[in-house]
Structures are given as structure tokens and as C-alpha cells.
């Protein structure tokens, strides 16, 4: 029994190759970290600004949608701060309702166009329509949409 040789396993062979970080490797790691650190600050600042532009972007999108609706309409009437758009045989109504601006077709349905609205004012102008939106933060947005008919 004493004549049996002990077999070396693969694990035991790996223990002989133990090396740590060299001075050059450590300097390289510190250089990379110090060069990327300022960019992380800019990235965090940029992501925080995206959420602050939400109201402005959503209001601009609403104005574009409203412009497209007016282009498709054959007749536009404004009364009681409601805008009625005649589009073929259907009548679409756009109005301020509670804290949203909604669109209804033939008095049915409820499509929300803009949220967090404190006040909306639709006015007729000599060359088109003027819309003034006040959001929940108190920011005021104006838009003049010109008729091209």
C-alpha cells in the first residue's frame, strides 16, 4: 500500500500560479477611473434634465396634434371655450375637462390629448386660432395656428 503514488489534481496545479496586480496595472486602472469619473457627472445631470422637460415636450406634441386636426377640418367653431372641428360627417370636440384636455368624436368617447392642465383658453384670431395652456406647475404656453384654407 505504501507504494501507491498520489495523483495531482488540476486544482492543485493552479495554486502554483498566484500573481497579484503589478504597479503598472494599478496605475492603468486608476487612470481609466479618473478619466471616466467626470463623464458620469454629466450623464447624471443629463438624465435629471429629461424629466424636467416632460411638460414642455407633451405640450408641444399636443400643439402639433391640434395643428394636424385643424388641417383635416373643413369648419372650426369655438364657443364656451370648446373647439368643434367638422371633419367630413363627424364632429370632433376638443375641450378642457378637469385636469386634462380631451377629444370627443360626435359626443362619445374620451381621448386624452394632454394631462396636468390647469387652464386652457381657445380663442379665434383673424388668421386662425390662438391656444393658451397653463399647466399644473403654472407654466404658460401659447400657440397660434394659422388656417391655410
Are 47 and 109 in a shared domain?
Answer: no
**How many other C-beta atoms lie within 10 A of the C-beta of residue 101?**
23
Are 59 and 132 in a shared domain?
Answer: yes
Q: Rounded mean pLDDT of the chain?
A: 86
Instruction: Tell me whether residue 6 is in a domain.
Output: no
Stretch 89-105: mean pLDDT:
95
Domain of residue 75: give its range. Answer: 54-146
Residue-wise pLDDT for 11-55, tens only, equals 555 555 556 668 888 899 999 999 998 888 888 887 776 666 788
Name the residue among 138, 83, 92, 93 with its Cα closest to residue 116. 138
Q: How many domains does the chain have?
A: 2
Lowest-pLDDT range of 8-12, 123-127, 140-144: 8-12
Are 62 and 113 in a shared domain?
Answer: yes
Instruction: Tell me whether residue 8 is in a domain.
Output: no
Quote the pTM value.
Answer: 0.66
Are 58 and 96 in a shared domain?
Answer: yes
Residue-wise pLDDT for 43-88, tens only, equals 888 777 666 678 889 999 999 999 999 999 999 999 998 999 999 9
Amino acid at each position: 500500500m505504501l507504494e501507491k503514488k498520489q495523483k495531482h489534481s488540476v486544482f492543485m496545479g493552479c495554486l502554483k500560479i498566484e500573481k497579484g496586480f503589478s504597479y503598472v496595472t494599478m496605475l492603468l486602472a486608476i487612470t481609466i477611473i479618473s478619466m471616466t469619473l467626470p463623464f458620469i457627472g454629466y450623464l447624471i445631470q443629463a438624465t435629471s434634465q429629461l424629466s424636467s422637460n416632460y411638460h414642455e415636450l407633451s405640450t408641444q406634441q399636443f400643439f402639433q396634434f391640434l395643428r394636424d386636426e385643424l388641417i383635416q377640418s373643413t369648419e372650426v367653431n369655438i364657443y364656451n371655450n370648446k373647439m368643434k372641428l367638422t371633419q367630413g360627417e363627424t364632429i370632433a370636440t376638443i375641450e378642457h375637462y378637469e385636469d386634462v384636455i380631451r377629444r370627443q368624436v360626435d359626443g362619445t368617447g374620451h381621448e386624452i390629448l394632454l394631462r396636468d392642465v390647469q387652464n386652457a383658453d381657445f380663442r379665434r384670431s383673424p388668421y386662425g386660432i390662438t391656444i393658451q395652456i397653463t399647466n399644473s406647475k403654472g407654466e404658460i404656453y401659447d400657440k397660434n395656428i394659422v388656417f391655410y384654407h
